[in-house]
C-alpha cells in the first residue's frame, strides 16, 4: 500500500513569500498614507512593490484585505503572527503587581500604538463613510477587538487591587476603551496641539482617576 504524497514545503519559498508579503504591505502603507484609500489602486501598490497585481490578489484577496493586513502590522508593530495581548508589553503589564504601574504601562503602550495607527485610522474612518467594507473593518477593529482587549487588560488591573467605587470590570473597561480611542487621541494631539509626552501623562492620570480605588 503506497503512502500518500507529503505536501512539498520549501523554507526558501516560504521566506520569499514572506518578503513579498512584506513589500506589498509596506508599499500599501506608503500609498494609503500618501494618496488615501479610495485613490490608491492595487495596480499602483503592485507596481511600487515590484510584483504583479495577480500576486497581490492571491496574497491578500482584495483591497480591503490588504488594508486589514496593513492595520494588523501597524497595530502589532511587526508582521509576526502573535496576538496583541500575548506580546511582551501586554504580558509584562499582566505580570506587574502594582496597579498604578500597570496603568503607567498601559498609557505608554497605548500612546506608542496610537502614534503608529492614528494616521491609518484616519484614512479608514474616512473610507468607512463611503465604503461598507471599510466601515465593517473599522467597526471590528475599534469596537469588537479593542473593547475585548480593554476588557482583558482591565481584568488584569482589577486582579491586583480594587477598582474605584466598586466599579465593575466591564464598566471600567468601557471607560478605558473610550479614553484610549483614536478619536480622543485626535482631539488631544491634533486639535489640542498636545505633545506626545503630555498626552501620555494625561492618559495615565485620566485612567488612574477614572478606574482605580484608593487603596
- Is the CA virtual torsion 147, 149, 152, 156 positive or negative? negative
pLDDT(9) > 70: no
Residues near 130 by Cβ (< 8 Å), separated by ≥ 6?
38
> Given pLDDT bands bounded at 50, 70 and 90, which one contains residue 75?
confident
- Residue 17: the pLDDT is 85
Confidence of residue 3 (pLDDT cuts 50, 70, 90): very low
Q: Of the given ranges (53-67, 68-82, 125-139, 179-193), which has the lowest mean pLDDT?
A: 68-82
Query: Which pLDDT belongs to residue 215?
Result: 59
193 is written with which cell numbers?
Answer: 496641539
Q: Tell me the three state secondary structure of residue 135.
A: helix
What does the CA dihedral 171, 145, 73, 181 come to, rounded to 10 degrees? Answer: -40
Supply 194's cell numbers. Answer: 498636545
Q: Where do we find the cell 480622543?
A: 184
pLDDT at 1: 38
| Rounded Cα–Cα distance for residues 117 and 104 (Å) | 20
Which residue(s) pair with 163 in the sheet?
A: 212
- Nearest 10 degrees: Cα torsion 46, 51, 52, 53: -30
CA distances from 195 to 33, 93, 100, 202 (A): 22, 24, 22, 11
The average confidence (pLDDT) of the chain is 92
- Count the neighbouring beta carbons within 10 Å of the beta carbon of residue 116: 14
Residue 20 pLDDT > 70: yes
pLDDT digits (tens, 9 = 90+) for 24-41: 999 999 999 999 998 999
Amino acid at each position: 500500500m503506497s503512502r500518500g504524497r507529503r505536501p512539498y514545503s520549501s523554507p526558501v519559498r516560504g521566506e520569499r513569500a514572506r518578503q513579498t508579503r512584506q513589500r506589498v504591505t509596506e508599499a500599501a502603507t506608503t500609498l494609503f498614507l500618501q494618496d488615501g484609500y479610495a485613490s490608491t489602486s492595487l495596480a499602483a501598490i503592485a507596481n511600487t512593490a515590484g510584483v504583479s497585481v495577480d500576486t497581490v490578489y492571491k496574497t491578500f484577496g482584495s483591497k480591503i484585505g490588504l488594508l486589514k493586513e496593513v492595520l494588523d502590522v501597524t497595530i502589532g508593530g511587526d508582521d509576526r503572527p502573535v496576538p496583541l495581548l500575548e506580546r511582551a508589553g501586554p504580558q509584562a503589564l499582566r505580570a506587574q503587581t502594582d496597579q498604578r504601574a500597570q496603568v503607567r504601562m498601559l498609557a505608554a503602550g497605548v500612546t506608542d500604538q496610537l502614534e503608529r495607527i492614528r494616521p491609518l485610522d484616519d484614512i479608514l474612518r474616512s473610507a468607512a463613510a463611503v465604503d461598507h467594507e471599510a466601515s465593517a473593518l473599522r467597526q471590528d477593529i475599534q469596537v469588537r477587538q479593542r473593547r475585548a482587549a480593554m476588557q482583558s487588560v482591565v481584568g488584569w488591573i482589577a486582579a491586583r487591587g480594587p477598582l474605584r467605587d466598586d466599579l465593575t470590570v466591564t464598566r471600567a473597561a468601557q471607560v478605558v476603551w473610550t479614553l484610549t480611542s483614536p478619536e480622543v487621541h485626535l482631539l488631544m494631539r491634533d486639535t489640542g496641539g498636545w505633545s506626545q509626552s503630555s498626552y501620555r501623562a494625561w492618559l495615565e492620570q485620566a485612567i488612574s482617576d477614572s478606574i482605580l480605588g484608593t487603596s
